Each structure stands twice: as structure tokens, then as C-alpha cells.
Amino acid sequence: MKKILFILIATAIYLNSFSQFKVYSYGMVDITTQTQDWWPGLKVTVATYNSTAYNLWYNGSGRFFAHASGYIWCEKGGYFGSDISLKENIRPIENALQKVLNLNGVRFQYKERSGEEENPNNPEHFRLGFIAQEVEIVFPEVIKNMPDGKKAMSYTDLIAVLVEAIKAQQAQIEDLQMMVATYCKQNPDLTPPTNFLNNNDGADEGIGASSVDENTLQGIENAKLFQNLPNPFSMNTEIRFEIPYNTTSAKLLIHDMQGTEIKSYNIIRGVGSVVIQGSELQAGMYMYTLLVNNKIVDTKKMILAK
């Protein structure tokens, strides 16, 4: 009787196992598991830090690797379901540019748990990215809390944010181009910067490159205006410039986004800088323009955040 019971139990275990793991005659392996949330349906334990836990091999080459060190590699990139039929509650991304300005990109190394330390002198051992806890404050939608308490981030989701931020910035650039063109019309002694003329393609009548005498560009071709640092800023920021010694006058003008002149600085020839005190301005976006011999050399924007 005991022998019969043992056979029945063994047969039940065998049948149950067979129902979970099947190998078909044509080569396919079927694995069916029943696990709790985030428990592994298929667990692979490898011997070394550099082992491959999973490798998809096709047509003579490895196409996909899941590496024990934590990397996933695939030959031709990945695709993610994005068809409109898969989505609902679709809404535009608001304030994308301002939110992007609140992100901080970092260069870092991962902490290795295998005892193999990353070489701090080898650039290949560094990565570029974000800190999930910081990103969560701005974009909680891209952060997921994992079962072990760590935070994971979907980097690909930020692509849509960057696209919208670029579009918003381009709209600001076009508004600024119109402001510069209008300002030059109201001040005949001024001419737009050369890069503005080239980018504008002469679309605005009277402001095209053909209307600028070559002599008006003499003395300013070597003048340079640099982006203020830091930008955005809260305390103060420095604006650097280079003024050729054969010029007769140079000014740095600060305007608000409505085109109102806020400050004007007479600057000396040579390499120099002007420090803008944040306490003297209200929070917002400003434009600063370098004038050499009453000609616009360049215009850039700065952001005061308080």
C-alpha cells in the first residue's frame, strides 16, 4: 500500500512539473510559473561578475545580453509600445522648458557590489545621467519605486520633455529676433549681429544682409560675447567679453523680455567681464547685448532664479 502511495505522489509531482516546464519535439521550451509580484519567474545564478545570465544568439552572433554586472546590451536598440491605441488621458507637457532647467545632469560611477572597484581615472568607467530623487521632484511620472526600496527611472520618457523644451526655446528665440529687428529699425545707427542676419535670411525687409555696408562690420569682427556663468543664477553671474583694441566704443546693455533697457555698462577694450548682481534685478529672463562702435555684436539670454 505504501509503495502504491509513493508511486501516486511521485506521478503527481512529475505531472505537475511537466505542466510547468515543457520541451517540444520541434525545439521550443515552454516555461509557465506562478510567482508573487516582483518574484522571479526564471532565476539564473552565474559564477562570476563578468558572466552572461542570458544571451540571445542568432545567425552566428550574439544579439542580446543580460550581463551579471547589471548591463543589458542589444545589437540594434529597443522599441517601446507607443501606438495611440495603447494610450489614454493624453495631455500636453506643460512648462517643459522651466522644468528642464531644474534638472541637474551628473557624471558618476556605479558602486560595485562584487568587490571589483571602478577605476576613477578611466573615462569608460563613468556614466552620465541623473539622480532619481532629484528628478522625482520635477517629473514624478518617470520614477518607479522598486521592491528593494531603490528608485528606478525611465530615461526615454524625458525625450518628449526635451522636444517640448526645445520648441519653447525656439519660440523665445524667434520672439527675440523680432525684438532685435524692431530695436534696430527704431535706432538706425545700429545694425543686427552678423549671425542674426544670416539666420534670419533677410526675411524682414530692411534688415537683410544686403542692407548692411561692409564698412559697418569693420572693427567688430573680432569682438566676442560669452554666455554668462552661472546660468541660471540666483546670487550673481559673470558676463565675459573680448573687445578689439581698434574700436572706439563698447557697451553692454541689459534688457527685459519686453525690450526695456534695464542697465547699461561702458566697457573697456581688451578681455574683460561684468558681474551682474542678482539682488539688483527681479527673477525672470533677460537679454544682454554687446555693442561695439554702436553696432550689435551679439545678444544672449540669462535667467535669474530666486
Q: Shortest CA distance to 153 belongs to which of 167, 178, 168, 134?
A: 134
Contact partners, residue 227, CB within 8 Å, separation at least 6: 300
β pairing state of 72-74 and 29-31: unpaired
Q: For residue 134, give the amino acid letter.
A: E
| Residues of the chain under the 50 pLDDT cut | 4-18, 197-198, 200-216, 218
Q: What is the predicted pLDDT for the residue at 219? A: 53
Q: For residue 113, give the amino acid letter.
A: R
Q: Shortest CA distance to 53 belongs to which of 66, 70, 38?
A: 66
Contact partners, residue 100, CB within 8 Å, separation at least 6: 161, 162, 165
Tell me the whole-structure pTM to 2 decimals: 0.56
Q: Give the chain's domains with CATH numbers.
A: 21-74 (no CATH), 90-162 (no CATH), 171-304 (2.60.40.1930)
Q: What is the DSSP string of 149-163?
A: S-EEE-TTHHHHHHH
Q: Go through 258-276 and write b for each residue having 16 or more CB atoms within 10 A of its CB, e for each that does not.
A: eeeeeeeeebebeeeebeb
Order of all β-strands in the sheet with 270-277: 224-225, 236-243, 270-277
Q: What is the DSSP string of the chain?
A: -HHHHHHHHHHHHHHHHHHHEEE-TTS-EEE-----TT--SS----SSTT-EEEEEEETTEEEEEEETTS-EEETT-------GGG--S--PPPSHHHHHHT---EEE-PPPSSS----TT-GGG-EEE--HHHHHHH-GGGEEE-TTS-EEE-TTHHHHHHHHHHHHHHHHHHHHHHHHHHHHHH-TT----HHHHHHHTT-STT-SGGGS-GGGGTTTTT-EE---BSSSBSSEEEEEEEE-TT-S-EEEEEEETTS-EEEEEE--SEEEEEEEEGGGS-SEEEEEEEEETTEEEEEEEEEE--
The answer to whether the CB of 228 falls within 8 A of the CB of 252 is no
Q: What is the predicted pLDDT for the residue at 239? A: 94
Q: For residue 95, give the amino acid letter.
A: N
Q: What is the predicted pLDDT for the residue at 13? A: 45
- For 197-232, the pLDDT digits (tens) are 445 444 444 434 334 444 445 456 788 999 999 998
The Cα–Cα gap between 230 and 234 comes to 9
The Cα–Cα gap between 62 and 234 comes to 51
The Cα–Cα gap between 71 and 88 comes to 32
Q: What is the predicted pLDDT for the residue at 69? A: 84
Q: What is the predicted pLDDT for the residue at 190? A: 63
Q: What is the predicted pLDDT for the residue at 137? A: 94
